[in-house]
Amino acid sequence: MVAPPAVLILLGATATGKTAIAVELGRTLGGEVVSADSRAFFRGLDIVTAKPSVAERRGVPHHLIDCVALDGAYDAMAFRADVERLVPEIAGRGAVPILAGGGTLYVAAVLRGIFEGPGRSDAFRQALDATNTEVLHGRLADADAVAAAKIHPRDRLRIVRALEVWAQSGRTITAWQQEARPLAFRFHAFGLARERADHRAAVVARTHEMLERGLVDEVARLRGAGLCPGSQAFRSVGVPETLAHLDGALSRDELLDEIVRATWSLVRRQSAWFRAQPDVTWVDVTGRAAADVAGEIAATWRREGGDA
RNA sequence: GGAGGGGUGGGCGAGUGGCCUAUGCCACCGAGCUGAAACCUCGGCGAUGUUAGCGCAUCCGCGGGUCCGAAUCCCGCCCCCUCCG
């Protein structure tokens, strides 16, 4: 019996340096990076998402970057399927699969698993458009009391999803969720932690850098290329803010402040989620070079026989 | 120098005699999250002194006063803004 492939997972909020550390790890361990960044999927979002350029990847193969059109859609189930396909391919080449990213739902879909019930139905959702959220919550309470108790009456997104699953399959989302299983690989998760003040400074520096690299021009170009408000790509930190700046609603300084604030808030949400994850080996990156951190992670990985 | 407006918790700002143990927003902090997740949602949160903590006391520019009761009314002072000289 062949042991399932081992996967190195690198968790880190925005601006913890995980992109550079993943590249270092790829070089030291002989690995390939699978991006779990919910924005790097989209073609065209380069500067706003601080996507690593080909030069920055330094010869380390990267997957799931630029795999979706700007106005396209992607979701956690698709991501899981991609990872399920990519990991054995990478391991088959004798390389270490390095799953790196800050997309919490996407990482969860792999680590915790995601149930295989019915997918999204736009027709179903449209039919609910006119109905008040609390009414929908009441309907959910009738169908699935457990889910209704867990989901706040005002959390429309999740209420709708639960009703959608119920309507399409005749089974409750609660029942489905219990069947979710992690992908059948061996995982070792490393989390990158950074002291708050230092982390905050990194967010500011990163935002300055984006502006210098041409954030405003990039977003202007994307608007011309059909970036529309309803799309997933539009909902990226920095995009709405920059559009407001292009329309004259924000000065350049205000734009900077707004992006820093939105990014920080993202960092906090990501951190809260990662913090709650079990079985994560935490590594403090404060004030350290990427190579140094990667060296520590690689050593632990080898010691624990990650690829044994 | 004259006339008017204003000083409220980290920021903006409401409150103009008792319901102020000061609304709201922002920032900040925490939490939830199972096919949009960089989404969506909920909670906490003024200052100082004192205390192990619960708590208690004081604080709405500063100092007095009126009143049973003052962020709110009166007097004085300080500071800011606008206009006139």
pLDDT at residue A1, as a whole number: 54
Q: Is A112 within 7 A of strand B by CB distance?
A: yes
Q: Per residue in A24-48, pLDDT tens?
A: 999 999 999 999 999 999 999 999 9
Question: Among the listed ranges A50-54, A90-94, A259-263, A303-307, which one has the minimum average pLDDT value?
Answer: A303-307
Mean of per-residue pLDDT scores for chain A: 93
User: Which residues, 6 or more positions from A143, have their beta carbon under 8 angstroms from its beta carbon?
Assistant: A162, A163, A166, A172
pLDDT score of A308: 41
Distance A232 CA to B36 C1' (A): 7
CA-nearest of A189, A188, A193 to A284 is: A193
Query: What does the pLDDT look like over A36-92, one tens digit per residue?
Result: 999 999 999 999 999 999 999 999 999 999 999 999 999 999 999 999 999 999 999
The separation, in Å, between residue A76 CA and nucleotide B7 C1' comes to 54
Q: Which of A70-79, A159-168, A202-211, A225-234 has the lowest mean pLDDT?
A: A225-234
Check residue A306 and give its pLDDT. 63
ipTM field = 0.89
**For strand B, which residues in window 248-277 of chain A come within 7 Å by CB?**
261-266, 268-270, 272-273, 275-276
Contact A128, A160 (CB under 8 A): yes
- CA A296 / C1′ B69 distance in Å: 68
Q: Quote the pTM value.
A: 0.89
How sure is the predictor about A226, in pLDDT bands with cuts at 50, 70 and 90?
confident
Q: What is the pLDDT of residues A90-122, one digit of tens each?
A: 999 999 999 999 999 999 999 999 999 999 999
Q: Which of residues 85-104 of A touch strand B (CB under 7 A)?
A: 102-104
Provide residues 61-90 of A with CB closer than 7 Å to any strand B atom: 73-78
Identify the band that residue A228 occupies on the pLDDT scale cut at 50, 70 and 90: confident
Nearest nt by C1' to A38 Cα: B38
Q: What is the pLDDT of residues A175-196, one digit of tens each?
A: 999 999 999 999 999 999 999 8
> Please, which positions of strand B sit below 7 A from a protein CB?
26-42
Choose between A249 and A11: higher pLDDT: A11
Asked if pLDDT for residue A218 goes beyond 90, the answer is yes
Residue nearest to nucleotide B34 (CA to C1'): A114
What mean pLDDT is predicted for residues A195-209?
93
pLDDT for res A3: 81
- How many Å apart are A102 CA and B61 C1'? 48
Bridge partners of residue A101, in order along the sequence: A11
Nucleotide nearest to A39 (CA to C1'): B38
